Amino acid sequence: MKKLSTLLLMLVAAQYIHAQQLLTSKPDKNSFPLVTASPAAIYTDSTDDWLVNKSAQLLQADIEKVTGKKPALIHNIADAPANVVIIGSQNGCQPLQSLAANKRTAYKPMEPAWETYQIQTLTRPFPHINKALVISGSDKRGVAYGVLEISKQIGVSPWYWWADVPVKKQSSLYIKGNSFRCTSPSVRYRGIFINDEAPAFSGWTKEKFGGFNHHMYEHMFELLLRLKGNYLWPAMWGNAFNDDDTLNPVMAHKWGIVMGSSHHEPMLRAHDEWRRYGKGPWNYVKNENTLRDFWRTGITRMRDHESIVTIGMRGDGDEPMTEGTATALLERIVKDQRQILTEITGKPAAATPQLWALYKEVQDYYDNGMRVPDDITLLLCDDNWGNIRKLPDLQEKPRGGGYGIYYHFDYVGDPRNYKWLNTNNIARVWEQMHLAKAYGADRIWIVNVGDLKPMEFPISFFLDYAWNTDKWHADNLRDYYTKWAGEQFGATYATRIGEVLRRYGQYAARRKPELLNADTYSLTAYNEFSRVLQEWEILLKDATAIGASLPPAYKDAYFQLVLHPVKAFTIVHQLYHAVALNRSYAAQQDTSANAWANKARQLYISDSLLSQEYNQHANGKWNHMMDQTHIGYTYWQQPEVNSMPAVSYVKAHRPVTRTDSLPKDTSRYFSLPAARYTNAVSNAGISWKAIPDIGSTGDGITTFPVTRSVSLGKNSPHLEYAIYSRDTGTISITGHFSPTLDFTGGKGLKYAVSVDNAEPVILQLHDEGNWSKWVSENVIRQTSTHHLSQPGKHIVKYWMISPGIILQQLTVNTGGLQNSYLPPPPTGSR
């Protein structure tokens, strides 16, 4: 029965995805010939919005890239040949208005709506036109999204420029005859934050564009639209979007990109502008007039450019306000900022979208009662490590401005920077953003993406999911890897490359490379270090083999998107493994230490050669993008330069008594992957579901709906795991969980564990003071003790109480469990 329903779900999902396929290879009388022997012409009303015309130019260029045939771009409908693509916004395109007025055509006019579009094939819409493909939008971005959806489907990846993804060549293109309508996105503002951009992005853009100017930003605006995003927090490490190049905001506006500034840069003024022009202290008590003038400039400069204004105030830069800053003062600051908005725009403050970011200590002000007017979006935040700190209270009345989320794929700060490679497992991103959506935080989703590269894959996922939160769920998440790989590398390689990306995502999330060292994994317990290394080496072997079989045109894209990160991670694991063995042998005065020291040195060099290879490949197009240091951290901040981990040499060979550290598998423990339960009890409308790949070594399991908690009772939802133990007496059971925070703001997340019919032990997921450990290890472990009165079969029970808890593994220690970083291999599979 379970299998049947899974099959049905898969079919429904496939049809849903399939339903959006616009292209057909089997043209019929209804389909639209976009390109046959010659391409259809493209029409826009030249008075329509700049972005509409730009989108048409992009489509024209994309069709030429795909087919080698360049469509004519015309602006007089009377000049249209038999087949024409009409691109227009409902209000800006004269022929669309004529069609809307003509009851005899099948054209369905677009109603006013946020970013919707329609792609429709019409026969004889005008007497001289045989067929028209109408791409119409309810607004300018709607049009762009419709056009760029076609670009994507004909084979131009959103990443064609930013990751050198080759265009898939075709000689003819037909669009299906049916009409396709895309409704408003699930999240209104969907964007990225370029941050922590030195040394990589800064070095690159300086060399290639001469700085953070509109020449570079136009590429980013285009990328955002192709990914169906609409919102940007620009780079701010010594950079100031509006001040560095006055064409930056002008072009953002034309491209339809909604601009903001980061959480601690109020009133659309970059932090660096205060360094450049600010006078006196960044302190509202001492310097309010100067600050208000400074902010006035931000709002004056905003003009009619679509923006979201950050309000509130933090300390100078990314710092808290001085201790004891009163809520009343902060509320006055917000009031004054809104007064400036009213004065300068001549409209009520509420007419300009604003956000107040509850970042770090600012959330405490909120929790202690500070409030801002209802039209302001409350931007809830993660803990900088991908764990959302707070979600709206479902019992509270909805806010006019709604709620949003500020999330991180990259971070500079405690307990350690992570900014070198992509370490974001999309299973976890899905799980956290699904929570956000379920609790109503869907007005703004913005993610800190560091240097943008090499975050291509999770950026795509974040924006795709924000576009349509109904499309991706625990049952089809694995399809995302294949779909994305297919879009970049073609259908032939989609499954194999998708599988590499999936395994990479899981392995990379185990620990940030900046936090790895020779002691992370155990050399002895369960042969852990060798096993982890072997997984990476097998992945590298697979990735290399696929790379070797790809057509040469894919080489650069494959290197950036797939091979480099796998190789880079593998090398650092090999390096620390060699260092660990060196130290272990050296401690025993064994000269084998020397070979490992030499090997470690070679690997250290391989690491830097690989960064160099990245910087030089694609004819040096991405030079500096791999300049980030990553070996030799001693505290949270990055080292200036990489440094070789210490190794030592053993001089003369002295006979040693080897305490050889062979793995001892003494058993007397059980390692139980969460999703491999023997029985699941669902109840009270709550069901259990596995989230694929979210765990450090496998799937995780949680309850749905994610908004429901239960009081523990005899029949409440639980999972059962059967074990057979030779041991009796006191045992301990450890749950391994994803580091979800108590986003409810309540008394902590709870679950319970019991054995057989004993009373369940209720546990809190969190204990004070361990946050750094959870995020560094990307896991929370909690242990309870239980009693086995007799040997034999026992049932371990895991009881749900709070929602949102992701159980990855249970380990049961009956006397033989050893210390290791990851849970031991599953019992039964050793």
Closer residue to ligand REL (CB): 182 or 379: 379
- Cβ neighbours around 240 below 10 Å, total: 23
Stretch of 407-415, 525-533, 539-547, 656-664 contacting ligand REL, by CB under 6 A = 407-415
- For the chain, the straight-line distance linking the first and the last C-alpha, in angstroms and rounded, comes to 31
Stretch of 278-286, 344-352, 406-414, 612-620 contacting ligand REL, by CB under 6 A = 406-414
Tell me the site size for ligand REL, rule CB under 6 A.
Answer: 11
CA-nearest of 576, 552, 826 to 695 is 826
Closer residue to ligand REL (CB): 413 or 815: 413
Q: What single string gives the DSSP state of each residue in 674-724?
A: TT--SEEE-BTTBEEEEETT-SSSS-EEEEESTT------TTS-EEEEEEE
- Cβ neighbours around 734 below 10 Å, total: 19
Closer residue to ligand REL (CB): 139 or 410: 410
Distance in Å, CB of 309 to ligand REL, minimum: 17
* Rounded CA separation 788/58 (Å): 69
CA-nearest of 567, 555, 568 to 488 is 555
Distance in Å, CB of 195 to ligand REL, minimum: 5
| Residue of the chain from 83, 195, 623, 744 that contacts ligand REL (CB under 6 A) | 195
Closer residue to ligand REL (CB): 238 or 486: 238
If one asks whether residue 448 binds ligand REL (CB under 6 A), the answer comes out as yes
* Rounded CA separation 135/144 (Å): 9
Distance in Å, CB of 264 to ligand REL, minimum: 6
Q: Which of residues 92-151 bind ligand REL (CB under 6 A)?
A: none
Q: Which of residues 256-315 bind ligand REL (CB under 6 A)?
A: 262, 264
* Rounded CA separation 753/80 (Å): 72
13 with 476: CB under 8 angstroms?
yes
Closer residue to ligand REL (CB): 413 or 440: 413
Distance in Å, CB of 333 to ligand REL, minimum: 19
Helix (H, G, I), strand (E, B) or coil at 556: helix
Closer residue to ligand REL (CB): 262 or 734: 262
R_g over Cα of the chain: 29
Burial bucket for residue 549 (CB in 10 Å: 0-12, 13-18, 19+): exposed
Distance in Å, CB of 449 to ligand REL, minimum: 11
β-pairing, 354-357 vs 377-381, is parallel
Closer residue to ligand REL (CB): 55 or 261: 261
Closer residue to ligand REL (CB): 413 or 663: 413
SS3 for 622-686 is CCCCCCCCCCCCCCCCCCCCCCCCCCCCCCCCCCCCCCCCCCCCCCCEEEEECCCCCEEECECCE
If one asks whether residue 318 binds ligand REL (CB under 6 A), the answer comes out as yes
Q: Which of residues 366-395 bind ligand REL (CB under 6 A)?
A: 384
Query: Which residue is closest to ligand REL by CB?
Result: 318
Note the maximum CA span of the chain: 98
Stretch of 54-62, 409-417, 492-500, 793-801 contacting ligand REL, by CB under 6 A = 409-417
| Residue of the chain from 294, 407, 411, 420 that contacts ligand REL (CB under 6 A) | 411
Per-residue DSSP letter, 40: P
SS3 for 740-772 is CCCCCCCCCCEEEEEECCCCCEEEECCCCCCHH
* Rounded CA separation 119/122 (Å): 10
Stretch of 224-232, 405-413, 483-491, 691-699 contacting ligand REL, by CB under 6 A = 405-413
CA-nearest of 192, 132, 156 to 60 is 156
In sequence order, which ranges of 78-162 are alpha helices (DSSP H)? 94-101, 140-154
Closer residue to ligand REL (CB): 190 or 794: 190
| Residue of the chain from 27, 199, 373, 413 that contacts ligand REL (CB under 6 A) | 413
If one asks whether residue 214 binds ligand REL (CB under 6 A), the answer comes out as no
- Close Cβ partners of 512 (under 8 Å, ≥ 6 residues apart): 416, 418, 423, 776
Stretch of 175-183, 411-419, 607-615, 762-770 contacting ligand REL, by CB under 6 A = 411-419
* Rounded CA separation 435/428 (Å): 11
Distance in Å, CB of 411 to ligand REL, minimum: 5
Closer residue to ligand REL (CB): 91 or 283: 283
Distance in Å, CB of 388 to ligand REL, minimum: 14
| Residue of the chain from 196, 273, 627, 742 that contacts ligand REL (CB under 6 A) | 196
Q: Which residues bind ligand REL (CB under 6 A)?
A: 195-196, 262, 264, 317-318, 384, 411-413, 448
